[in-house]
Amino acid sequence: MRPRLWPEIGDSQQVRYLATWVAPDDLGTQFPKLELLFSTGAGVDQFDLAALPPRVSLVRMVEPGIVRGMVEYVTHAVLDLHRDMPAYRRAQQQRQWQPLPVRTAADCRVGVLGLGSLGQAVLAQLVALGFDAAGWSRSRRELPGVHCHAGDDEQGAFLARTQILVCLLPLTDATRGVLNEALFAKLPRGASLVHVGRGPQLVAADLLRALDAGQLAEAVLDVTDPEPLPATDPLWRHPRVRITPHIASMTQPRTAARVVIDNLRRHARGEALVGLVDRARGY
């Protein structure tokens, strides 16, 4: 097997494995022998799943570098909110010495939407720091030290206990617009949001309304819709919104290459692939 780097791919008719962020519309005809399509990122929402030939297996990136970056970002955001740093930054601008009550992590209820490779790793760190942690996923999960909730029936109870909500859901038809007014209303008054999933999961107008009404206290957004966020967007100027340019975590080539090679070996042996996407579910 000879690896080739785009655009020097030689005869595309012979390519069996492709690692890429985006795919051409005519993938099936351009690469008639393609067996595996690796996303170079953790998500696969950038692909048109319906346009991928059925013979091609789609694999998302599950690698230690992405996981580490996400654990760092979310832990930082949660600790920042838990220790009232947004309020202290505002107080400093006013030159006000204004101590707030110090709460322990055990008194802070953090909830993570999505208990996949990233949600699980984030929760393990939050549990280690002593937070009262909960999670929500489609199917039932059991994670040490985490109050796990599953499905639409248990979403209300999960939200009702969550003071800091972290979104780590994949973007699918079912999760588009999920962070909306109805969901915010189910959180306790004054809850905060850390959004690290995908921009189209958030209804930005609903977030701004919830912040202005005091239903939400703060929002940390690493993803927006569109990206980059236009300079005129009101999210930029809101005093209780912090925005980073989709940098929460990124694929680290060194560790990711090992994972791709391991998956190629698994494929050759006919074994299950790590990160294989279920096209019907969309993630």
Ligand X SMILES: NC(=O)c1ccc[n+]([C@@H]2O[C@H](COP(=O)([O-])OP(=O)(O)OC[C@H]3O[C@@H](n4cnc5c(N)ncnc54)[C@H](OP(=O)(O)O)[C@@H]3O)[C@@H](O)[C@H]2O)c1
- Return the C-alpha torsion angle 45, 51, 55, 56, nearest 10: -40
From 246, 266, 267, 281, active-site residue: 246
Active site residue 147: no
Task: Report, in Å, the least distance between residue 222 CB and ligand X.
Answer: 5
Which of 243/264 has CB closer to ligand X? 243
> Binding of ligand X at residue 176 (CB under 6 A)?
no
Task: Report, in Å, the least distance between residue 119 CB and ligand X.
Answer: 5
Task: Report, in Å, the least distance between residue 45 CB and ligand X.
Answer: 7
Task: Report, in Å, the least distance between residue 70 CB and ligand X.
Answer: 6
What is the rounded end-to-end Cα distance, in angstroms, of the chain?
Answer: 29
Q: List binders of ligand X among 96-115 (CB under 6 A).
A: 114-115
> Binding of ligand X at residue 117 (CB under 6 A)?
yes
Contact indicator for 111, 132 with CB cutoff of 8 Å: no
Amino acid letter, residue 221: L
112 contact partners, CB below 8 Å, separation of at least 6: 119, 122, 123, 126, 133, 134, 135, 136, 166, 168
Which of 246/266 has CB closer to ligand X? 246
The H or E element containing residue 86 is helix 85-93
| 176, 246, 266, 279: which one binds ligand X (CB under 6 A) | 246
Closest residue to ligand X: CB criterion: 116
79 contact partners, CB below 8 Å, separation of at least 6: 129
> Binding of ligand X at residue 119 (CB under 6 A)?
yes
Stretch that binds ligand X, among 92-100, 117-125, 202-210, 266-274 (CB under 6 A): 117-125
Active site residue 198: yes
Which of 59/223 has CB closer to ligand X? 223
Distance CA 132, CA 261 (A): 38
From 60, 109, 198, 267, active-site residue: 198
The H or E element containing residue 37 is strand 36-39
| 9, 129, 174, 276: which one binds ligand X (CB under 6 A) | 174
Contact indicator for 202, 222 with CB cutoff of 8 Å: no
| 83, 138, 147, 186: which one binds ligand X (CB under 6 A) | 138
Which of 31/137 has CB closer to ligand X? 137
Per the DSSP assignment, residues forming a β-bridge with 58 are 37
Report residue 112 CA to chain centroid gap: 10
6 contact partners, CB below 8 Å, separation of at least 6: 20
State the catalytic residues. Answer: 198, 246
The contact set with ligand X (CB under 6 A) reads: 42-43, 66, 70, 114-119, 137-139, 141, 168-172, 174-175, 196-198, 222-223, 246, 248-249, 283
